[in-house]
Amino acid sequence: MKQYLFLIFLTAFCSFASLWWTPYAGVALYYLFAILRPQYLWEWQLMSMPIRLPWSFIVASAAISGYLLWSAGILSFGRRESSLMRYRPKFTIAHWMMMLFAFWVTMSHLCAKNPDLGELWYGEYLKIFGMYYLASRVVRTPTQIWGLYMLIIIAIGYISIEMNHIYLSTGKLILAKKGFAGLDNNGAALMLCLGVPLCYFAWEFTERWYKWLFLMIIPVIMHAVLSTYSRGAMVSMAMAAPVLMVFSQKRKFLICVYLAIGAMLPIMAGKEIQDRFFSVEQREMDDSYRSRLLSWEIAIDISLEYPIFGVGVRNSNAEMFHRGADMEGRTIHSQYFQIAADSGLCAMLVYLGMIVATFWCIFRASARLWNRTDFESRRARAMLGGIACSLISFCIGAIALSLEVFEVSYLLFFLGAQVWALLNATDTLGAAPMPGARWTPAAPVRVTVAQPQFAGGR
């Protein structure tokens, strides 16, 4: 009952806040629900309630309504309108590539062989693209970006703690057997491992005592990942680890963290998990490997046959069996090949372009902020490091997983692009930056453009 009441209170509060404070409140809660997915996490509690509410839809509707009413001049946010809302973030090349990808997926769905097969998946796409665009217009301060960054850590940390608690109290490996919130064990593991670099860089930026909580949650997340039996997630996390050295300001301590994690791994991986990782039958590995290779070959054939708009969103699954796959409805098990088969080679190239553009924004922002020592610059550098390393883990893991509607990855792509967007925000009032804004211009700018800072200060 307490979970249900908590969700009602949080949903009501953020829905009203989207109208009297800022639409950011609804956007933030939407993303929390999209990652935490309380309807799955607390299903045992929520299923027994008399009314089942569409949590994400309510807060998303409030956030969209607040932004549209404000844009039309019907709604005013008072002082915040002249301070925070006056700075309009630049639409970067990463934002444009995402919108182009949205257009291509839409055309693919409209031109699909059987649009009904992709109706559910396209609905998920619409939510992702719609909230990405809304967030790009609503998120206008560095504190708001930090809030979304912390939101991911809190959600992933809570899921990890909950799954570990279940394992320690009952011995059940829920993630390995059931996955999480519609994701299989591999998808759930990849989602969790994205939290490791985010936690490390949150620790590196934070100066108060609670910074150590971020480090303490890392082994909890890693144990939850191990309990999924996902070798792919561990590989993607390990391959992204060296990149932390590029962004870290405390490399010697990071080496100590690596050594500590290496020493703890044999302890965290109990006998059951070790047996799975190190004593897996060769036949099982070979069957999985051959199945993936075959599905990739079929996906390439489909994408070459339908290069422009593909066969339609998730229509490729219906094509797999009669093209030689081992089972009906076989998933392609590769983000990139799945997009290529479903929406065409052009869509895959646009998706890859969006990834490259996002990393371009991240490295441009990091280069501009690297030598600055003010509060907001240090915080932004830390966030960019965590986001970049998490995205590298995702891009590696996505090679062998179909995760085209994986919400947390799109949130990370958004955050990476939005930092650069705020560094180049336009001051709609043509006035000087707010007093208290800590960033100073790197070069003279036109009077109509905000100085290269996160508008609005802290």
Each residue of 170-195: pLDDT tens digit? Answer: 878 788 888 887 788 888 888 999 99
Task: Report the pLDDT value the prediction gives residue 441, as an integer from 0 to 100.
Answer: 36
Instruction: Please give the average per-residue pLDDT across 211-222, as a whole number.
Output: 91
pLDDT per residue as tens digits for the range 258-317: 888 878 777 666 666 666 555 554 445 556 667 778 888 888 999 999 999 989 998 988
| Segment 37-46 long-range contacts (CB within 8 Å, at least 24 positions apart) | 37/180, 37/181, 37/182, 38/3, 38/7, 40/180, 40/181, 40/182, 41/159, 41/162, 41/180, 41/181, 42/3, 42/4, 45/1, 45/3, 45/4, 46/3, 46/4, 46/7
Residue 175: closest CA among 161, 165, 189: 189
pLDDT per residue as tens digits for the range 53-77: 777 888 888 899 988 988 888 888 7
Task: Report the pLDDT value the prediction gives residue 295, as an integer from 0 to 100.
Answer: 85
Task: Report the pLDDT value the prediction gives residue 246, as an integer from 0 to 100.
Answer: 86
pLDDT at 448 over 60: no
Task: Report the pLDDT value the prediction gives residue 445, as an integer from 0 to 100.
Answer: 36
pLDDT band at residue 360 under the 50/70/90 scheme: very high
Is the distance from CB of 357 to CB of 421 less than 8 angstroms?
no
Task: Report the pLDDT value the prediction gives residue 385, as an integer from 0 to 100.
Answer: 93
Number of domains the chain contains = 1
pLDDT band at residue 433 under the 50/70/90 scheme: very low
pLDDT at 435 over 60: no
Is the distance from CB of 409 to CB of 396 less than 8 angstroms?
no
Structural domain including 64 reads 1-71
pLDDT band at residue 438 under the 50/70/90 scheme: very low
Instruction: Please give the average per-residue pLDDT across 324-335, as a whole number.
Output: 79
pLDDT per residue as tens digits for the range 381-421: 999 999 999 999 999 989 888 888 888 999 999 999 999 99
Residue 390 sits at φ, ψ, to 5 deg, of: -65, -40
Task: Report the pLDDT value the prediction gives residue 269, as an integer from 0 to 100.
Answer: 63
More confident call, 254 vs 355: 355
Q: Element (H or E) spanning 427, and its range?
A: strand 426-427
Residue 22: closest CA among 76, 91, 99: 76
DSSP state of 183: B
pLDDT per residue as tens digits for the range 93-120: 999 999 999 999 999 999 998 888 889 9
Task: Report the pLDDT value the prediction gives residue 172, as an integer from 0 to 100.
Answer: 80
Q: What does pLDDT average to over the chain?
A: 83
pLDDT at 124 over 50: yes
Task: Report the pLDDT value the prediction gives residue 393, as an integer from 0 to 100.
Answer: 93
Task: Report the pLDDT value the prediction gives residue 278, as an integer from 0 to 100.
Answer: 58
Distance of alpha carbon 335 from alpha carbon 21, whole angstroms = 38
How much of the chain exceeds pLDDT 90, in percent? 35
pTM: 0.88
**What are the CA-CA distances from residue 230 to residues 149, 166, 175, 221, 362 (Å)?**
25, 18, 10, 13, 29
Is 346 part of any domain?
no
pLDDT band at residue 348 under the 50/70/90 scheme: very high
The DSSP annotation for 145-163 comes to HHHHHHHHHHHHHHHHHHH
pLDDT per residue as tens digits for the range 24-52: 999 999 999 888 887 777 776 666 667 77
| Burial track 325-351 (b if 16+ CB lie within 10 A, e otherwise) | beeeebbbbbbbbbbbbbbbbbbbebb
Instruction: Enumerate the H helices of 227-250 as residue ranges.
Output: 231-240, 244-247
Is the distance from CB of 171 to CB of 224 less than 8 angstroms?
no
Is 12 part of any domain?
yes
Other CB atoms closer than 10 Å to residue 1's CB: what's the count?
A: 8
Is 63 part of any domain?
yes
**449's torsion region: left (phi>0), alpha (psi -120 to 50) or beta?**
beta
Q: Element (H or E) spanning 426, and its range?
A: strand 426-427
More confident call, 265 vs 163: 163
Distance of alpha carbon 236 from alpha carbon 254, whole angstroms = 18
Is 30 part of any domain?
yes
Q: What residue has token string 């509607």?
A: 405
| Burial track 72-95 (b if 16+ CB lie within 10 A, e otherwise) | eeebebeebeebbbbbebbbbbbb
Find residue 449's DSSP bridge partners.
Answer: 426
Is 18 part of any domain?
yes
